[in-house]
Structure 1
Amino acid sequence: MLGNMDDAVAALDALDSALSVLADLDLGRLKNRERVEVLRRLEIHARRVPAINNPLLHDYWTDRDDRSFGGQHPHQVLADSLRITRREAKRRFMVAQELTARTSFTGEPMEPELPATAAAVTDGAIG
């Protein structure tokens, strides 16, 4: 599905709203079985986030331009923007390269270096 920034903002706004609703719920009356179910569902959602991040990171790395962001290295841009270390930024870029579909020199689509792992991340089975 093709998307643009407006689509991304709308989806992120909906996600923000859903998380706000969950945060505002008084879940103190849930039974432990119900608590575990809520936790399980949240974990699956958290594990799916890298499947969204990885193509963004891959494409950012592929399209990087030394003039963007005042000439800062992509690791530093990501570290500053996400408030993570440069080491973590580098790790995320490396993972994205392994788990994102690629394009050959001739323009042919290629699957990720680790297709089974990429599929499991997309499904939320691993994070």
Structure 2
Amino acid sequence: MASASLDALSSEEILEVLARREALAWRAPAADHRLLARLIADGNPGVLGAANLTLVLEDRLRISRGAARRRLAEAADLGPRVAVDGQPLEPVMPTVAQGVAAGVIGPEQVAIGGCQMVCVSPDKGRISGHDDRSGFG
């Protein structure tokens, strides 16, 4: 893409490419949520060289402390969980997690509380189901 000629593309085609790339970018955090949820459950910050996971991420990923806190909080809400007996549990906010994984809910929507608006479902068009934590039923 970086070296491809864009001269033959119309404005509408450019917007379509941008929209597809945006959806791909919106999917990426879903993988991070899974990884971070596992790190939250099993990671030992001391072994990883810091006092807490926020500091571990800040150092290893070279991100701000605020960004590290935000990523950990999102993973706690949107990543998979495990019950005390070892059974898998769905995320705290399953509808939002599904939307992120599908690329229809982006970081800005997640930052303002997930699905506090009508969400787009990849298989059903528009849906109005919201997660319990968002205050909608």
Q: C-alpha displacement at 1:24, in angstroms?
A: 1.6
* Cα distance in structure 2, aligned partners of 1:95 and 1:56: 12
Structure with greater proportional strand content:
2
Gapped regions of structure 1 (runs ≥ 5): 1-21
Aligned twin of 1:53: 32
C-alpha distance 70-80 of structure 1, shift in aligned 2 (>3 A): closer
Match of 1:38 among 11, 17, 32: 17
CA distance in 1, matches of 2:93, 2:5: 41
Aligned to 2:98: 119
Sort the Cα spacing of 1:83 and 1:61 in 2 relative to 1 into closer, same or farther, 3 A: same
Identity %: 38
SS in 2 for 1:37: helix
Alignment partner, residue 88 of structure 1: 67
Query: Which residue of 2 is the match for residue 73 of structure 1?
Result: 52
Deviation at 1:72, TM superposition (A): 4.3
Q: Relative to total residues, which structure has the larger helix share, 1 or 2?
A: 1
Which of 53, 63, 79 is the matching residue for 1:100?
Answer: 79
CA RMSD of aligned residues (A): 1.4
How big is each residue's C-alpha offset from its partner over 1:48-69, in whole Å with a ceiling of 9 and x where there is no partner?
Answer: 0011110111111111214323
Identify the range of structure 1 (57-66 vs 116-125) with the bigger mean alpha-carbon deviation.
57-66
TM-score when scaled to structure 1?
0.77
For normalisation by structure 2, the TM-score amounts to: 0.71
